[in-house]
Amino acid sequence: MTIDNYYASIAVVELTSDKKILIESISVTKGECVLSGAWDFSITERENISNVLSGRLLIALGDENKFRDFIDDSSYVYLTAKPFLDEARIAASDALLAYENFKAENPTKRKKMVAPDFYDWPDAIDFNHSAKFMESIGKMATPLSTPSGFKNVLATARLVKHLIDMWHLDEQDRSSRKYVEGEDAEITILPRTWLNLVAPH
């Protein structure tokens, strides 16, 4: 599995009603997250599909169980939004609390301190409605030229990239604060709830 705290690869996959497997991949390194590839396979191309998905964490759109049955490989690790969002929200809250406590220790000396500005993490996201969420925050879900069949996987890949970008910005802000210490001050490329799903290679 290709994931540690230096590099991770994520694939958004969709098993469509017309028996295709659509894939969008996302590569994550420290401080960078990029969409790195797109594939359109017939479900008969099992070897090609497996080769593309090998070593990637998966986000399965639609009926995840149908995709699991199709791929028939228990070694794959599947991601959901909730653990990511929960950890990101708690990490932001903890860092804000640390700021308030640090400032309160010496309010006169530290009155000009600037509070950290973390992303306003939502409580929940349904990756099957990624386009709707992207539009709700004023971002383009997919370019106009996107083939209609690819819109779901591309919108989700772009949403995942947005979330990871926001995580990276929050991590950089947390790590730069001298009152944030220990594990909280260590920058991770993804929330630990996702990183810990597999052992580092």
Residue 201 lies in a domain: no
Q: pLDDT 10s per residue in the chain (201 long)?
A: 445 678 999 999 999 999 999 999 999 998 799 999 999 999 999 999 999 999 999 999 999 999 999 999 989 999 999 999 999 999 888 888 877 777 666 766 666 666 677 899 999 999 999 999 999 999 999 999 999 899 999 999 999 999 999 999 998 887 766 655 555 556 789 999 999 887 544
Residues in Cβ contact with 117 at an 8 Å cutoff, skipping those fewer than 6 apart: 173
Residue 1 lies in a domain: no
Contact 99, 113 (CB under 8 A): yes
The predicted structure's pLDDT at residue 186: 67
* Structural domain harbouring 123: 7-195
Residue 99 lies in a domain: yes
Contact 94, 184 (CB under 8 A): yes
Residue 121 lies in a domain: yes
**What is this structure's pTM?**
0.88
How many structural domains does the chain have? 1
How many whole angstroms from its chain centre is CA 65? 21
